[in-house]
Amino acid sequence: MPITDLLERNSKLYGDEVALVEINPEVHEPLRATWKEYALIQPTSSQPYRRQITWGVFDEKANRVANLLISRGVKPGQKVAILLMNCLEWLPIYFGILKTGAVAVPLNFRYSSSEIEYCVRLADVDILFFGPEFTGRMENTVLALGEKYLLFFVGNNCPTFAESYNEAVSNCSSVAPKILVEDIDEAAIYFSSGTTGFPKAILHNHTALMQAAHMEAVHHGTTHDDIFLCIPPLYHTGAKMHWFGSLYTGSRAVILKGTSPKAILDVISMELCTIVWLLVPWCMDILAALDRGDIKLEGRHLYQWRLMHMGAQPIPPSLIKHWHDYFPHQQYDTNYGLSESTGPGCVHLGLKNLHKIGAIGVPGFGWKLKIVDDHGEEVKQGETGELCVKGPGVMIGYYKNPEATKEAIQKGWLFTGDMAMQDEDGFVYLVDRKKDVVIMGGENIYPVEIENFLSAYKKVQDVAVIGLPDDRLGEIPAAIIKVKQGMECTAEEIDRFCLDLPRYKRPRKIIFADVPRNPTGKIEKPKLREMYAQGKSAFKN
């Protein structure tokens, strides 16, 4: 069945039960609730701003969004984008799009105006919901596109180039539209990038989304009584598909707008969360704060917190061992996946396999895997090759890119681009990445894009960007720069030049040195990693 059926089922079975809670620990004054059905708790010195909606209201709001879009001529298969920070409006808008038979297109909130423009064009988007944080970027995007787009502004003080979402949706029916949506129908486009740095549009159908929801519930034993804490951005397949476990079981989820150790532990305690997905940096920050004594576990209600799981980047085994020093009875799972496999879980460690921490695990629910050589032949156990996965969550393909689709999917197998090996017990370990991607704190950073940017600087003759190990973030981008002969350049100059890049894409280390290239002109990045990952050269930063 389509993923929208789960929401409608929850509305019927659990209509008066809380579905979503939004908490913003940085806000300590009442805000105007845009939907009258929100429950608003006035903050105190110990209570952050909080609002919530029930499953019944969630479904009604999704219906209003759907009817709004239909009234504006939206047809099945049309692409509708979402550019919002995490909030209570996010998921009802997403499901409202799906209820029309249209395709939801979440956009990374870190995108610059040019990146928004590129993705909107690539995915054939002509309707977009955006929040107040993106007004400036959207104004620039509209000017660059030079075409008429239907834009809905989610917030107060609507800009002149958009229409107020709050006003438009309030006049729409809360009854579900009579649109037949089927399993095989296209549902969502998520963006990723290859080594070129240009985003590719990953197209999934409802079958893939349902697979992710069912798998999440199976992997983590999610029940109707669980409470999931969602911290990462909802444009990620990671956050979305982990929340789908709550959708599948009709259980509550809490959306936290903040990542400080205190905020995370406070909300887990206050909301009695049972399942929490953390990225490595957040986990490390919590442990560091506990080690320093900045925060304490005493006095918090954490007895119900049964599972912490992680993913999005390599997980240091020592980190999980230290975690269990403070939370010895807590379950743990590692999740591996990619947007092309509907996010995390096509390979996972499993709750009973703590003795295998360091591995990404075994095939997930409904999945198969194999490890192959450059000719597509399976390697022997213990040998390194490319990890391939097969299952109902494999993407339909890259939208409008049949060549890349043909390369990525062969006879139903998705070639992940990750190099891996399998031990004698069948557990898979990542060895290296075939794709040239730096993963910093769970975010993919594509070196070629930064290299192209830096090569435009007047003093740069050659440049290569690699990932260097970082205890907190997993990796950080480092730029190796060859300066033009007769010129001098400083790291401060490069830092100033990079101010035009989004913050997370700016190099964290600047190294002035030669850039080795092979006879065909390709940068020899393995050599650079060998040279600098071990600290054999001084950083000029």
Q: What does the pLDDT look like over 257-280, one tens digit per residue?
A: 988 999 999 999 999 999 999 988
User: Residue 538's pLDDT band (boundaries 50, 70, 90)?
Assistant: very low
Place of tokens 């105006």: 113
- The predicted pLDDT at position 434 comes to 67
CA angle 99, 105, 109 (to 5 degrees): 130
User: Residue 32's pLDDT band (boundaries 50, 70, 90)?
Assistant: very low
Give the DSSP H/E element, type plus range, for residue 331: strand 331-338
pLDDT tens digits along 473-485: 989 999 999 998 8
- Check pLDDT > 50 for residue 194: no
Mean pLDDT lowest among 132-146, 225-239, 430-444, 503-517: 430-444
Q: Which CATH superfamily is domain 440-532 in?
A: ANL, C-terminal domain (3.30.300.30)
pLDDT tens digits along 243-256: 999 999 999 999 99
Of 396, 400, 394, the closest CA to residue 416 belongs to 394
- The predicted pLDDT at position 36 comes to 39
pTM equals 0.83
Of 13, 15, 62, 14, the closest CA to residue 35 belongs to 62
**CATH number at 4-258:** 3.40.50.12780
Helices (H) and strands (E) in the chain, counts: 15, 28
- The predicted pLDDT at position 44 comes to 46
- Check pLDDT > 60 for residue 176: yes
Mean pLDDT lowest among 223-232, 432-441, 484-493: 432-441
- Check pLDDT > 50 for residue 525: yes
- The predicted pLDDT at position 28 comes to 59
Domain coordinates of the chain in residue numbers?
4-258, 307-433, 440-532
The pair of three-digit structure tokens given for residue 273, joined into one six-digit string: 């969360």
Distance separating alpha carbons of residues 516 and 328, to the nearest angstrom: 48
Q: Residues of the chain with pLDDT > 70: what percent?
A: 92
pLDDT tens digits along 365-421: 999 999 999 899 999 999 988 999 999 999 999 999 999 999 999 999 999 988 889
In sequence order, the 6+-apart residues with CB closer than 8 A to the CB of 210 are 1, 2, 3, 6, 183
- Check pLDDT > 90 for residue 165: yes
Distance separating alpha carbons of residues 81 and 111, to the nearest angstrom: 13
Strands 385-390 and 368-372, how do they pair?
A: antiparallel
> How large is the average pLDDT for residues 85-90?
96
The pair of three-digit structure tokens given for residue 91, joined into one six-digit string: 């998921």
> How large is the average pLDDT for residues 62-67?
98
Burial, 45: exposed, middle or buried (Cβ in 10 Å; 0-12, 13-18, 19+)?
A: exposed
- Asked whether the beta carbons of 236 and 343 are under 8 A apart, the reply is yes
Distance separating alpha carbons of residues 315 and 196, to the nearest angstrom: 26
Check residue 413 and give left, alpha or beta (phi > 0: left; psi -120 to 50: alpha).
beta
Distance separating alpha carbons of residues 281 and 398, to the nearest angstrom: 31
- The predicted pLDDT at position 195 comes to 39
Q: Residues of the chain with pLDDT > 90: what percent?
A: 69
CB-CB neighbours of 536 under 10 Å: 8
- Asked whether the beta carbons of 416 and 389 are under 8 A apart, the reply is yes
Domain 307-433, classified CATH 2.30.38.10, yes or no: yes
- The predicted pLDDT at position 375 comes to 92
Rounded alpha-carbon distances, angstroms, from residue 10 to 20, 209, 229, 234, 430: 12, 17, 19, 20, 38
Distance separating alpha carbons of residues 6 and 248, to the nearest angstrom: 6
**DSSP label at residue 485:** T
User: Residue 79's pLDDT band (boundaries 50, 70, 90)?
Assistant: very high
The pair of three-digit structure tokens given for residue 335, joined into one six-digit string: 């999740």
> How large is the average pLDDT for residues 141-161?
90
Place of tokens 């620990």: 25
- Residues, the chain: 541
User: Residue 47's pLDDT band (boundaries 50, 70, 90)?
Assistant: low
What φ, ψ does residue 253 adopt, rounded to 5°?
-135, 145
- Check pLDDT > 50 for residue 237: yes
- The predicted pLDDT at position 311 comes to 84
User: Residue 517's pLDDT band (boundaries 50, 70, 90)?
Assistant: confident
Average pLDDT, the chain: 89
